[in-house]
């Protein structure tokens, strides 16, 4: 069993990670804004499905995630770019299977998940408390619960947020540049991070 202090500490870390903008948040926002709550919810299930598995290919995920973040950053600020919070009706509507798979792949390439599970989670496991794998599973389920709770709020409030931003074009521009800066910083940090041997 994980101690109460470790559970509380890890819950705060998980909350901080899920509240930091990243690929999952952007994907869930765009799907919810463009296709509605049900599409956002199905996408969230795809995102959550990957959290059930522990990432093993850290190096490949690290580079793929870094490149993906840079691509997202460029798409946020390139000439003619639109904010992810700007409603669009010119895109095709994706079916439930594609939404789920896209959520799964988005989370697969999410560098925050790799950092969380490979760098932060082990710091909350205490071999003196008993079964290490059991503690890892308990912390993983806690992280899934925290992430799911925050992301479901994002899914269900994205449309309202989009309407607010639509009436303030300067906020949309500022949001694009802020998002590009955060994504670039995360990409650089991810690619430069060296996993302990």
Model confidence pLDDT, tens digit, residues 169-193: 787 778 778 878 877 887 787 677 6
| Per-residue pLDDT at 59 | 56
Given a contact cutoff of 8 angstroms between Cβ atoms, the answer to whether 106 and 100 are in contact is no
Contact 140, 51 (CB under 8 A): yes
What percent of the chain has pLDDT above 70? 83
Torsion from C-alpha of 36, 38, 39, 42, nearest 10 degrees: 160
Q: Say which residues have a Cβ less than 8 Å from residue 163's Cβ, sequence separation at least 6.
A: 87
| Residue-wise pLDDT tens digits, 24-34 | 787 887 788 77
Higher per-residue pLDDT: 39 or 92: 39
In this prediction, residues 103-127 reach a mean pLDDT of 79
Given a contact cutoff of 8 angstroms between Cβ atoms, the answer to whether 11 and 141 are in contact is: no
pLDDT of residue 40 exceeding 80: yes
Measure the CA–CA gap between 98 and 121, rounded to whole angstroms. 30
57, pLDDT greater than 50: no
SS3 55: coil
Give the H/E segment covering residue 120.
Answer: none
pLDDT of residue 174: 80
Residue 149 has pLDDT above 90, yes or no: yes
What's the pLDDT score for residue 190?
67
Confidence of residue 197 (pLDDT cuts 50, 70, 90): very low
Check whether 134 has a pLDDT greater than 80.
yes
Answer yes or no: is pLDDT of 145 > 70.
yes
Question: What is the percent of the chain with per-residue pLDDT over 90, rounded to a whole number?
Answer: 5
Asked if residue 88 has pLDDT above 70, the reply is no
130 pLDDT above the threshold of 80: yes
pTM: 0.59
Higher pLDDT, 166 or 101: 101
* Residue 52, pLDDT score: 55
């Amino acid at each position: 069993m994980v101690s109460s202090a470790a559970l509380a500490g890890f819950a705060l870390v998980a909350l901080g990670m899920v509240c930091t903008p990243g690929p999952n948040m952007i994907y869930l926002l765009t799907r919810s804004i463009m296709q509605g709550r049900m599409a956002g919810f199905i996408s969230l299930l795809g995102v959550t499905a990957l959290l059930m598995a522990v990432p093993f290919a850290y190096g490949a995920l690290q580079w793929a995630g870094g490149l993906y973040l840079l691509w997202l950053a460029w798409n946020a600020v390139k000439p003619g770019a639109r904010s992810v919070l700007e409603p669009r009706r010119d895109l095709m509507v994706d079916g439930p299977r594609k939404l789920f798979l896209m959520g799964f792949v988005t989370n697969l390439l999410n560098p925050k998940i790799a950092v969380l599970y490979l760098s932060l989670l082990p710091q909350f496991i205490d071999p003196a408390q008993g079964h290490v794998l059991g503690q890892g599973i308990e912390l993983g389920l806690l992280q899934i619960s925290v992430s799911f709770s925050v992301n479901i709020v994002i899914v269900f409030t994205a449309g309202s947020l989009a309407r607010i931003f639509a009436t303030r074009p300067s906020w949309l521009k500022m949001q694009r540049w802020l998002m590009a800066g955060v994504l670039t910083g995360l990409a650089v940090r991810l690619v430069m991070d060296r996993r302990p041997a």
